[in-house]
A and B are shown apart, each in its own frame.
Chain A
Amino acid sequence: NAGVMQNPRHLVRRRGQEARLRCSPMKGHSHVYWYRQLPEEGLKFMVYLQKENIIDESGMPKERFSAEFPKEGPSILRIQQVVRGDSAAYFCASSETGYGYTFGSGTRLTVV
């Protein structure tokens, strides 16, 4: 049983481009969470999704950021018109019940 799969592992974007980060949860897990981590800091909650629904997006910036978890396929975190301040590691976690997270290895976004 594969763990939480995130791709790409590293992503470089120029300012103004779009970044798409993908997360495939563990098999059987219907709860997905996205967190952002700046260097030498803890993780900051962004959004919590269940299949086809956004449950809590209180940690997500109001502009340029969006997330989805469609019925079929991975969860996508989309950042439009990236700026240098978006450079960070983005982690996805999944759980079966809403508790007991398993994290992916993250996507390291660098905006140049």
Chain B
Amino acid sequence: TQLLEQSPQFLSIQEGENLTVYCNSSSVFSSLQWYRQEPGEGPVLLVTVVTGGEVKKLKRLTFQFGDARKDSSLHITAAQPGDTGLYLCAGAWRGNKLVFGAGTILRVKS
């Protein structure tokens, strides 16, 4: 069974602070995706990383894929209340099937 462990499970910070969410596995994935999910809605894809060591930036969000393609991190700079939500990492397994982590609930207080 392929497992993706996310940490922390819950994060409550003040507006303007920085944070990092981690996604770790003992398995190698062909690609890794990060999603953001708001209450009552489906996950929305933020980014896909494919190459070991890859770094992608999306405004204040920086995503990194580990060299061995087993782990990833999401760093948010100067968090804002609008960043509040559930952040999910998902590894692509055997091409099409995604294995999801349990998620990190982020709350940014103004």
Contact = CB atoms under 8 A, between A and B. Distances in A.
Contacts, number: 62
A43 B92 contact: no
Nearest to B93: A45
A105 B40 contact: yes
A40 B105 contact: yes
Given A91-B42, A100-B45, A105-B41, A43 B100 contact: yes
Interface residues of A, number: 26
B99 A106 contact: no
B97 A43 contact: no
A91 B40 CA distance: 11
Interface residues of B, number: 25
Interface string B82-108: 000000101010011111111101000
Nearest to B101: A42
Given A105-B40, A105-B41, A99 B97 contact: no
Given A91-B43, A99-B96, A42 B103 contact: yes
Interface string B14-56: 0000000000000000010101000011111100100000000
A91 B98 CA distance: 13
A44 B95 CA distance: 16
9 contacts: A4-B42, A42-B90, A43-B43, A45-B98, A91-B43, A99-B92, A99-B96, A101-B98, A103-B42
Given A33-B98, A100-B48, 20 more contacts: A35-B98, A40-B102, A40-B103, A41-B102, A41-B103, A42-B88, A42-B101, A42-B102, A43-B98, A43-B100, A45-B98, A59-B97, A91-B42, A93-B42, A98-B95, A101-B45, A102-B45, A105-B41, A106-B40, A106-B42
